[in-house]
Structure 1
Amino acid sequence: MGELGWQADVLGNGYEALTLPLGSDGEGDVVATLVRYRPSLGNLVSPFAPAHGVDVLYVHGWSDYFFQTALAEYWHGVGARFHALDLRKYGRSLRDHQTPGYVADLATYDADIEAALAAMGHGENDERPSRRRLLLMGHSTGGLTLSLWAARHPGRASALVLNSPWLEFQTGGVGRAFITPLVQLGARVQPLGTLPQVDLGFYTRSVSAELDGEWSYESRWRPARGFPAHRAWLNAVLEGHAAVAAGLGIEVPILTMLSARSTILPRWNDQMRHTDSVLVVDDIARASVRLGSTVTVARIEGALHDVILSAEAPRRAAYAALTRWLRAYAP
């Protein structure tokens, strides 16, 4: 099956998973899970492909995990080696004794990311560092987490691709400034206190093959209305948003892919099949330019919150935009 520790993954042929022990926290043992795509040897790629010599590490968003096989196949097709990370308490890494998705500081994920990079040959203390270049790709909260990580670890990654990154709160900067003191107080008094459920399941309806979408996945790891959110977790996210608003100073090329429009309503609207029903994309576009010195923003007409889970036409447009960007900025 390959190197010691790698096992067949739930995604089937070509996918392998490696459990990454991370010690323990107040809830017990903690792990992350690295997934890699290794197609058959006959599936060769041109050395002139735009991402030849690149290793990709993908990180999912809130209440999510890696299942997007077409994304792995895309990266292989453009010459990269693809890996995805299920963070602690998500997806393959979630254990029965854990609070799903919970951390009180997004920097906690530094350990998860470092363990994954070490397994990929990009560890910080590797005696023989890889000659391949590292590209990080994150969706939603994963995009925020990787942006903050890249700012704290300059020189490690050569490029950053963000798929609808959660860079600003849905109420905007003014609303964020208003609610932050209240959230901070709640996080200190009752860190695991749950927040009101605001996810009405509309995004799931637009994605799931069991409803109006076309994608099948494990609903235990990606519940219809998301995991319960906790006060300390939201405080960590707001701290991340404030850091982005102040500017992160990332010096490598960044691509942000977003839907052209948002539809955020308290009731179902058919436009949610063709727009972002989670984030205010105009606010995210503005926040993106504060990430670093070289930022490209691609707005995809008809795209969902996860642009690579959109309908076929916007999905093709997103991959085409990514390929164009790679030809200009690939590390």
Structure 2
Amino acid sequence: MQANNIINPIKRSYSPDVLGDGFEQLTLAFSNDYEGEVKATLVRKQSEKQTPKAVLYIHGFNDYFFQAQMANRFNAEGYNFYALDLRKYGRSYMPHQKLNNVRSLMEYDEDITEALHHIKAEKNEEVILIGHSTGGLTVTYYAGRHLNSDLFHGVICNSPFYEFNLSVLERKIGAPILSFLSRYYPNQTISSGFSRLYGYSLHHDKYGEWNYSLVWKPHDIPDVTLSFIAAIHQAQNLVQNTITLNVPLLVLYSDKTISDKKWSDRFMTGDSVLNVNHIKHYANKIKGDVSTCEIKNGMHDLVLSQKTVREETYKRVFDWLDQHVNQESYQSEALASG
């Protein structure tokens, strides 16, 4: 399956990004949707090493790309780094849109496919999709519907949103009912259910160490539409029940879930957004070359965890890439040359 309206990457040019320090951005424009004009934003930082390898990072819900340290780590390991701010998020958000709004995660196929075409046109031959939280669900869903693509060669998920962090009753009855109602009331809004305390654990103005835009990633998360709930529910159903991947997949998650209602330092030592048991359970149901990795004291965004924890995360990621992706590439090159 290929996205429509792909813009010729040769005709587009990058401009300096808000992150500075060598980061550049490229606007990707698409046909209007149910809210009007639509765009996505591709951000890149190229490795100082000449390399045919790259990663494409997809952010989560109520999020955008700001993790410059992650980009620098991949650059140092010989990867050109790319990230997408999906339509209606971060750099791509426009005033006439509802922040984060989507009616199907397949809407992101255009964003991801065009970005991958740009990356390939820039002479990257081995590309890894990386997704965090809802982005992890999105890239898994995408990869499972784009089998045998020559645009990507592996998938890494950082605490993917494979299930709602709700009670059994809410998951089995509430989510399907809301998804059904979305057919008639797609723009009806409902609380996202996410606590502001996760944001407090990240932002340097509260208890965290990271500086990012509170306009694009606010502590007080906007209500979501019923169609957003339906979009997540539809993608989760596929991932939970029938999905097969034909590229290697690595799923990383914390060793524990934090469900506290008041702030404490415990928020710095676990996943305060999703149930890690759900992630592990559904990751192991995916068919294909699937590896799972538990990270002790990891926060929801593992690369934003405390320093020793994120260093362990990077070690596990690069070890996995060497064993499951790079090694296969070297073998393929040897066969082709032999």
Name the TM-score, length of structure 1 as normaliser: 0.90
Work out which of the residue numbers 315, 318, 321 in structure 1 matches 2:313.
318
Alignment deviations for residues 74-119 of structure 1 (CA, whole Å, 9 cap, x no partner)? 1111111110000000000000110111111000111111111122
User: Which range moves more in the overlay, 264-273 or 228-237?
Assistant: 264-273
Aligned-residue RMSD, C-alpha: 1.9
Contact preservation (8 Å) 1:201, 1:225 = yes
Using the TM superposition, give the Cα deviation of residue 5 of structure 1 relative to its aligned residue in structure 2, in angstroms. 2.4
Query: 2:49 maps to what in 1?
Result: 44
- Do residues 270 (structure 1) and 268 (structure 2) align? no
Q: Does 2:134 correspond to 1:141?
A: yes
Residue 158 of structure 2 corresponds to which residue in structure 1?
A: 163
Offset at residue 171 of structure 1 (A)? 2.6
What does the per-residue CA deviation read over 1:174-225, in whole Å, with 9 as the maximum and x for residues that have no partner? 6422123311232122111111252231100110001000000011100112
Deviation at residue 3 of structure 1 after TM alignment? 7.8
On the 8 A contact 1:192/1:232 being kept in 2, the answer is: yes
Kindly state the Cα deviation for residue 173 of structure 1 after the two structures are TM-superposed: 6.4
Pair 174,239 (structure 1): closer, same or farther in 2 beyond 3 Å: farther
Note the C-alpha offset of 1:253: 1.0
Deviation (angstroms), 1:73: 0.8
Deviations 1:15-60 (A, max 9, x none): 0000000121122110000000035xxx437xxxxxx532211100
**After the TM superposition, which of the residue ranges 74-83 and 89-98 deviates more from structure 2?**
74-83
The answer to whether 1:53 aligns with 2:55 is no
Aligned-pair CA distance for 1:257: 1.1
CA distance in 1, matches of 2:282, 2:115: 28
Change (3 A) 1:14 1:165: same
Query: Paired residue for 2:106?
Result: 107
Looking at structure 2, the residues matched to 153 and 299 of structure 1 have their Cα atoms a distance apart, in angstroms, of 27
- Which letter maps to 1:18? L
Partner of 1:238: 233
1:254 is aligned, of 235, 241, 249, to 249
Give the counterpart of 2:25 among 17, 29, 46.
17
Q: Which residue of 2 aligns with 1:67?
A: 66
> Following TM superposition, by how much is the alpha carbon of 1:269 offset from its aligned partner in structure 2, in angstroms?
3.4
The amino acid across from 1:236 in the alignment is: A
Q: Which residue of 2 aligns with 1:150?
A: 143
Q: Aligned partners of 1:196 and 1:227: how far apart in 2?
A: 7
Shift of 1:69: 0.5
Is 1:150–1:250's contact at 8 Å kept on the other side of the alignment?
yes
The answer to whether the aligner puts 1:81 opposite 2:80 as a matched pair is: yes
In structure 2, what is the Cα distance between the partners aligned to 1:89 and 1:197? 16
In structure 1, the residue matched to 2:125 is 132
Which aligned pairs between 1:212-231 and structure 2 lie closer than 5 A? Answer: 212-231=207-226
- Assess if the C-alpha contact under 8 Å between 2:71 and 2:81 holds in 1: yes
- How big is the shift at 1:172? 6.5
CA contact (8 A) 1:183 1:235 kept: yes
- Structure 1 unmatched ranges of 5 or more: 46-51, 123-128
1:138 touches 1:146 (CA, 8 Å); kept in 2? yes
The whole-number CA distance in structure 2 between the counterparts of 1:305 and 1:247 is 26
Q: Judging changes above 3 Å, is the alpha-carbon distance between structure 1 residues 285 and 172 closer, same or farther for their aligned structure 2 residues?
A: farther
Q: 1:197 to 1:184 in 2, by over 3 A?
A: closer
Normalization by structure 2: what TM-score?
A: 0.88
Deviation at 1:267, TM superposition (A): 2.8
Choose from 2, 7, 10 the match for 2:15.
7
CA distance in 2, matches of 1:25, 1:110: 14
| Equivalent pair of 2:175/2:229 in contact (CA under 8 Å) | no
Partners of 2:15 and 2:97 in 1: CA distance = 23
Amino-acid identity (%): 33
- Unaligned 5+ residue runs, structure 2? 1-9, 327-338
1:210 is matched with: 205
Q: Structure 2: which amino acid aligns with 1:154?
A: L
**1:285 Cα deviation after fit:** 0.7
Q: 1:131 to 1:201 in 2, by over 3 A?
A: closer
**Number of equivalences:** 315
Once residues 72 and 254 of structure 2 are traced to their aligned partners in structure 1, the CA distance between those partners, rounded to angstroms, is 22
Contact 1:276 1:305 in 2 (8 A): yes
- Match of 1:258, SS? strand
Of 25, 28, 33, the residue aligned with 2:41 is: 33
| 280, 289, 293: which one aligns with 1:285 | 280
Note the C-alpha offset of 1:314: 0.4
Aligned partners of 1:245 and 1:31: how far apart in 2? 30
Helix, strand or coil: the match of 2:238? helix
Query: Helix, strand or coil: the match of 1:165?
Result: coil
Letter in 2 for 1:100: L
**Distance of 1:165 and 1:173 partners within structure 2:** 19
One-letter amino acid of the counterpart of residue 188, structure 2? G
